[in-house]
């Protein structure tokens, strides 16, 4: 991990981040309290409304907690401290006074001494001013079963959601406190990390184990050193103790659960999806009625890990958790299900061509393929000078596949348009590298145009244009186009196949004078390596056109 | 950075992640195409509807691109390859055929050879099957001004959004292509990274510079090595070339811009907010009409960096970008503004007490404070055995502040309730550590109860209960409570202040027998360090009660 280092003033990280957060209109009427930067409080809405204000906060470094939850149906204020440091009593009191009306307020506090004391004293001071204040402490961590004071982890956001839901519905303070207390009393969490977080500007603490189990949210060591061997095993490291704890709590096996999958910071979205699948495939999955996340909800800066929180779906909890909110950071709340599958169109893999015979065209195909097989070592030698020496093998491999298709027989020899399409299909699967796809594009487009009635030169021109469009090269850049386009030009000008063959060879030969290019294999080489060497792809195309011309005569 | 390592099967990372993504109901009717895992395509909605299908995709590792955008108003299908590898032609064709009706489809492709060729050939094959297909290639990177084929970066998602908007409105394919092409032709992006991404299971490439400028999205080196000195300077490294490029493009200075602030993977949300503020404070900010993000939209696994994309707000673009979508990962689209401030309640900082005199009570306060000042070195010596040796100084400092307040005079000596509240206020600001907050809680709650008419023992009991609630300790755990509660018990039982003082001292002395505890300073020590040592906080409280009793007599 790299320490957090994109900031201008280490002492102002939180204030600058909050100011940054509020340089955009989130549609929530967000404001900072004056007293900023010492008092770092984000508030929303009309402070005079008649609804209970749910307020939370704590040290920064857990984004989107808590500023991300200042939104309708969640928090009315977030009180921020510095990174991993509790806000001051004055800051909490300022938050309370800014958003609390006659209905009173609920403080949702994670169980850390600093937060408990500072929010607690602020609550008592607010009471001296006649404000109705209640406080619910969240201590959802199960990592230390004997702890008198379990830490508050990601489960805290479920308390925000349920409390915010009831407050928004107009419930009175006693009701909001009761619902919040039920969730705080029932939610259980545990976390796992493969790399700790790095405090701004400070070098990282190294783990002396691959992973740690049972961490708080401030980068402190976990209670156990573990090894992560896979997603399912990692999920099990949390699922098993959580299920044991639910049993010890007296939660019956048929109680459905909400499961919050929290990204602690820098875990990759794919890993989070893989983990979520592992969790839902575990014994916990069978009991999961609602999945929340995966998402970063309670992070520890850039910690590489995840946590699981489980909450029995007590009466009313599912509705409260599922109610949509506008807060952008609020995670997906969804019902688990098996992935659904839609049938694949048969046309993707079907060989939609009917074999037919045409002696002349079959001879042409066979002669061209034979010429490519015979040119294999020469083309490889040419490519060895400017590439990885396999152009001959690539073209010869495709030629052998076409000869096999002619033998089966499976090629629609009687129909030039269909034949062009069919050869394109064979090349797409039998010819590796970009050249296989490019030739397939050329032949597929040509075939389509022939189907539409275009004369061969026009159809080929459309094919070459598709190669230019999709491949990104132009004539003169040491690619197959340097043989393809002159040959088409010759045909389009009324020339014979022999004229086309001569034009293709001339074009290929001229590539030896192209000393630099920005596309294709030659773009990786210096000009002195290129000078005097014919592009092997262009040479292969010339060989094709020459063999075709010879077969015609 | 730690390499991505939470997975079960390295070859199945993308398929397991997609399966995980679809184990939840996103409300978008998402499905995987059969042919999974070789064909990794996520589709939505009714394939037979009459709207243009916008389809995108590419290698995995850029989440939430592209699966996160399969949603109403964005994409109808995302075609995924392996990590940083283009999907196959068959996969793209399968995606096209699964979601394209008579209205046809638009493929939005980032400008990488593999994607261009595989999407291109799939498009040509789809045309042979009678499907209307168009393709728009996005090449928004400006890092290499001379590049024939600039790479596709985060600006691609703006093409998705505008194309998806018009498709959802029922526009025909030509219109969707025209709108998408306008955006693809006008959007410009550049990125900066402080640490590269780590491919699954592979050790990280180390930077030989602190940061790199002008990167693609596949972990390749940037075009320039740079040093990040701060957020404003980091923002300027991207803003300046972007503005130069817009000028070179002929965009006039008064054209308003959309600015996308993209997190490339593991950059902290606070850093992203600080960066966004820096961008909006730069010369680019003056021209910004719409901010998109900050959010991870086009990531490179866990790359620590960010990119900026700028798009002139062509007619209609602002509406298309601003239209809400249900896709959870879609970033905030907002109008920049200055943070708004709400006034701080004066009651937070106001000294709401009126000085008054009462000779007896003033003597009591002074005597207690003098006793604490005199006990400073003894209490420090006691604390040195079990803590950091500053308990005496902490209490003496508070005592000196109270003596100063008495001298001013500012304390409401004539009113016991107000005096308790006022001393609580002084302690909250003048007495450091947890003990200052705890004593302030005790006195604030006591004062509130006295105001309400409670007798002193009851008021003190409520204060002690608040200390227990917020502080989390119980009697018998080597804290101040071991002196406080016996003293209250004595008073509540009808005892005198002398009885209370004796009880407090007895309680303090008894803490020497408490050999272990789970709270407070002593929880960090082994029992042999505690045995025989009186808790210094409890001793200080006993000193206070003794001095108060002596002053009364």
Is the distance from CB of B66 to CB of B59 less than 8 angstroms?
no
What pLDDT is stored for residue B537 in this prediction?
94
B512-542 confidence digits (pLDDT tens): 998 777 776 666 666 677 778 899 999 999 9
What pLDDT is stored for residue B464 in this prediction?
97
Q: Provide CB contacts within 8 A for A324, sequence distance 6+.
A: none
Q: At B171, is the pLDDT very low, low, confident or very high (cuts 50, 70, 90)?
A: very high
Catalytic residue set of A: 218
DSSP E strands in B114-186: the ranges are 133-138
Structure-block tokens of residue A256 = 């459905």
Distance CA A515, CA A465 (A): 24
Please identify which residue in the block is written with the tokens 């210094």.
B536
Q: Please indicate if any CB of chain B lies within 8 Å of the CB of A48.
A: no
Element holding B89 (H helix, E strand): helix B89-99
Residue B408 main-chain phi, psi, to 5 deg: -55, -40
Q: Please answer yes or no on whether A117 and B345 come within 8 Å at the CB atom.
A: no
Residue among B380, B217, B228 at smallest CA distance from B297: B217
Written as one string, the DSSP assignment of A303-315 is BEEEEEEEEE--T
Strand, helix or coil for residue A397: helix
Smallest CA–CA distance from B30 into chain A, residue: A340
Is the distance from CB of B336 to CB of B288 less than 8 angstroms?
yes
What pLDDT is stored for residue B48 in this prediction?
64
Element holding A342 (H helix, E strand): strand A341-342
Distance CA A421, CA A430 (A): 14
Residue among A27, A204, A16 at smallest CA distance from B235: A16
The Cα of A328 is separated from the nearest Cα of chain B by a number of Å equal to 7
Distance CA A486, CA B218 (A): 37
What pLDDT is stored for residue A430 in this prediction?
86
Kindly state the percentage of chain B with pLDDT values over 90: 80
Residue among A22, A37, A262, A216 at smallest CA distance from A110: A216
Q: Looking at residue B331, what DSSP letter applies?
A: P
Radius of gyration of chain A (CA): 34
Q: Provide CB contacts within 8 A for B493, sequence distance 6+.
A: none
Distance CA B176, CA B184 (A): 12
Q: Please answer yes or no on whether A348 and B93 come within 8 Å at the CB atom.
A: yes
The single residue of B66, B160, B166, B218 carrying the catalytic annotation is: B218
What is the SS3 string spanning A424-493? HHHHHHHCCHHHHHHHHHHHHHHHHHHHCCCCHHHHHHHHHHHHHHHHCCCCCCCCCHHHHHHHHHHHHC
Q: Looking at residue B328, what DSSP letter applies?
A: T
Strand, helix or coil for residue A80: strand
- Which of B137, B194, B274 would best serve as a mutation to test chain A binding (most A beta carbons within 10 A)? B274
Strand, helix or coil for residue A244: helix
- Cis check: omega of the bond before A523, within 30 degrees of 0: no
- Cis check: omega of the bond before B101, within 30 degrees of 0: no
What pLDDT is stored for residue A375 in this prediction?
96
Residue among B533, B471, B535, B546 at smallest CA distance from B504: B546
| Helices (H), ranges, A79-198 | 89-99, 113-128, 156-168, 173-186
Contacts of A97 in chain B (CB under 8 A): 345, 347-348
Q: Please indicate if any CB of chain B lies within 8 Å of the CB of A291.
A: yes
Contacts of B119 in chain A (CB under 8 A): 470
The Cα of A85 is separated from the nearest Cα of chain B by a number of Å equal to 13
Residue among A347, A428, A451, A424 at smallest CA distance from B100: A347
Residue among B83, B217, B101, B73 at smallest CA distance from B153: B217
Structure-block tokens of residue B439 = 């004593």
Q: Please answer yes or no on whether B89 and A341 come within 8 Å at the CB atom.
A: no
| More confident position, B470 or A527 | B470
Q: Please answer yes or no on whether B276 and A35 come within 8 Å at the CB atom.
A: no
Strand, helix or coil for residue B532: coil
**pLDDT tens digits, chain A, 553 residues: what are they?**
566 788 999 889 999 999 999 998 878 889 999 888 889 999 997 666 799 999 999 999 999 999 999 999 999 999 999 999 999 999 999 999 999 999 999 999 999 999 999 999 999 999 999 999 999 999 999 998 777 789 999 999 999 999 999 999 999 999 999 999 999 999 999 999 998 888 887 766 666 678 999 999 998 889 999 999 999 999 999 999 999 999 999 999 999 999 999 999 999 999 999 999 999 999 999 999 999 999 999 999 989 999 999 999 988 999 999 999 999 999 999 999 999 999 988 888 888 899 999 999 999 999 999 999 999 999 999 998 888 888 999 999 999 999 999 999 999 999 999 999 999 999 988 887 788 999 999 999 999 999 999 999 999 999 999 999 999 899 999 999 999 999 999 999 999 999 999 999 999 999 999 877 777 666 666 677 777 889 999 999 999 999 999 997 6
Q: Please answer yes or no on whether B231 and A7 come within 8 Å at the CB atom.
A: yes
Structure-block tokens of residue B292 = 């998109």
Residues 434-453 of A with CB under 8 A from B: 434, 437-438, 440-441, 444-445, 447-448, 451
Q: Output the CA–CA distances (angstroms, integers) from residue A153 to A62, A140, B95, B471, in the order listed.
A: 10, 6, 41, 19
Radius of gyration of chain B (CA): 34
The Cα of B299 is separated from the nearest Cα of chain A by a number of Å equal to 10
Distance CA A164, CA A340 (A): 34
Residues 63-102 of A with CB under 8 A from B: 63-64, 89-90, 93-94, 97-98
The Cα of A299 is separated from the nearest Cα of chain B by a number of Å equal to 10
Contacts of A27 in chain B (CB under 8 A): 334
What pLDDT is stored for residue B526 in this prediction?
67
Is the distance from CB of B469 to CB of B515 less than 8 angstroms?
no
Distance CA B482, CA B459 (A): 18
Distance CA B92, CA A175 (A): 54
Q: What share of chain B is helix, strand, coil (3-state, %, to 5)?
A: 45, 15, 35
Please identify which residue in the block is written with the tokens 């992203």.
B272
Distance CA B421, CA B469 (A): 19
Contacts of B39 in chain A (CB under 8 A): 344, 348
| More confident position, B414 or B386 | B414
Q: At B47, is the pLDDT very low, low, confident or very high (cuts 50, 70, 90)?
A: low
Which residues share a beta bridge with B226?
Answer: B211
Per-residue pLDDT at B220 exceeds 80: yes
Structure-block tokens of residue A233 = 């095993």
Cα atoms found within 13 Å of the Cα of residue B106, Cβ hemisphere only: 31
Average pLDDT, chain B: 92
Is the interface score ipTM higher than 0.90?
yes
The pTM score is 0.92
* Residue contacts between A and B (CB atoms, under 8 Å): 374
Q: Please indicate if any CB of chain A lies within 8 Å of the CB of B45.
A: no
Q: CB B60: neighbour CB atoms within 10 A?
A: 26
Please, what's the largest Cα pairwise distance for chain A?
Answer: 107
Q: Closest CB to A13: pick one of B270, B335, B466.
A: B270
Angle between helix B231-248 and helix B269-280 axes, rounded to 10 deg: 50
Q: Output the CA–CA distances (angstroms, integers) from residue A278 to A154, A191, A274, B32, in the order listed.
A: 19, 15, 6, 18
Residues 243-262 of B with CB under 8 A from A: none
Structure-block tokens of residue A115 = 């937060």
Per-residue pLDDT at B389 exceeds 60: yes
- Which of A101, A273, A417, A432 would best serve as a mutation to test chain B binding (most B beta carbons within 10 A)? A273
Q: Please indicate if any CB of chain A lies within 8 Å of the CB of B396.
A: no
What pLDDT is stored for residue B524 in this prediction?
61
- Cis check: omega of the bond before B407, within 30 degrees of 0: no
Is the distance from CB of A435 to CB of A483 less than 8 angstroms?
no
What pLDDT is stored for residue B299 in this prediction?
97
Residues 137-156 of A with CB under 8 A from B: 146-149
Sign of the torsion angle spanned by Cα atoms B542, B546, B551, B553 = positive
């Amino acid at each position: 991990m790299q320490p957090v280092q994109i900031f201008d003033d280490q002492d102002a990280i939180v204030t600058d981040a909050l100011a940054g957060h509020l340089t955009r209109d989130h549609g929530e009427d967000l404001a900072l309290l004056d007293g900023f930067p010492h008092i770092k409080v984000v508030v929303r809405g009309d402070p005079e409304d008649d609804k209970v204000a749910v307020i939370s906060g704590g040290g920064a470094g857990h984004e989107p907690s808590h500023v991300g939850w200042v939104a309708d149906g969640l928090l009315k204020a977030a009180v921020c401290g510095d990174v991993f440091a509790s806000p001051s009593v004055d800051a909490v009191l300022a938050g309370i006074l800014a958003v609390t009306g006659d209905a009173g307020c609920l403080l949702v506090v994670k169980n850390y001494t600093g937060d408990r004391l500072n929010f607690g004293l602020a609550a008592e001071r607010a009471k001296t001013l006649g404000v109705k204040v209640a406080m619910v402490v969240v201590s959802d961590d199960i990592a230390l079963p004997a702890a008198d004071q379990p830490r508050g982890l990601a489960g805290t956001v479920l308390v925000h959601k349920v409390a915010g839901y009831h407050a928004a519905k107009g419930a009175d303070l006693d009701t909001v406190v009761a619902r919040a207390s039920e969730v705080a009393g029932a939610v259980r969490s545990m976390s796992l990390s493969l790399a700790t977080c790095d405090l701004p500007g400070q070098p990282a603490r190294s783990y002396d184990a691959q992973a740690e189990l049972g961490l708080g949210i401030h980068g402190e060591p976990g209670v156990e050193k573990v090894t992560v061997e896979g997603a399912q095993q990692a999920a099990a490291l949390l699922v098993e103790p959580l299920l044991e704890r639910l049993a010890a709590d007296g939660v019956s096996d048929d109680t459905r659960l909400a499961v919050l999958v929290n990204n602690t910071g820098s875990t990759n979205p794919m890993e989070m999806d893989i983990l979520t699948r592992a969790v839902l495939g575990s014994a916990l999955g069978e009991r999961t009625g609602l999945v929340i996340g995966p998402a970063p909800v309670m992070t520890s800066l850039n910690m590489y890990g995840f946590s699981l929180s489980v909450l029995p779906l007590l009466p009313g909890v599912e509705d409260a958790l599922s109610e949509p909110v506008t807060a952008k950071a609020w995670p997906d709340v969804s019902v688990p299900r098996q992935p659904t599958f839609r049938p694949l169109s048969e046309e993707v893999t079907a060989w939609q061509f009917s074999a037919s015979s045409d002696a002349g065209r079959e001879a042409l195909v066979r002669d061209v393929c034979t010429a490519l097989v015979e040119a294999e070592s020469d083309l490889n030698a040419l490519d060895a000078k400017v590439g990885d020496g396999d152009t001959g093998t690539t073209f010869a491999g495709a030629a052998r596949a076409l000869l096999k298709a002619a033998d089966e027989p499976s090629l629609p020899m009687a129909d030039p348009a269909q034949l062009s399409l069919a050869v394109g299909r064979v090349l797409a699967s039998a010819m590796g590298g970009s050249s296989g796809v490019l030739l397939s594009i050329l032949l597929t487009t040509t075939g389509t145009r022939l189907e539409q009635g275009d004369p061969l030169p026009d159809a080929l021109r459309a094919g070459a244009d598709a190669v230019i469009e999709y491949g990104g090269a132009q004539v003169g850049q040491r690619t197959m186009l340097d043989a393809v386009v002159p040959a088409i030009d010759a045909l389009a000008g009324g020339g014979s196949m022999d004229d086309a063959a001569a034009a293709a060879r001339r074009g290929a030969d001229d590539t030896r004078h192209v000393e630099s290019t920005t596309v294709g294999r030659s773009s990786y080489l210096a000009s002195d390596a290129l000078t005097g060497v014919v592009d092997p792809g262009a040479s292969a195309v010339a060989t094709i056109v020459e063999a075709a011309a010879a077969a015609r005569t």
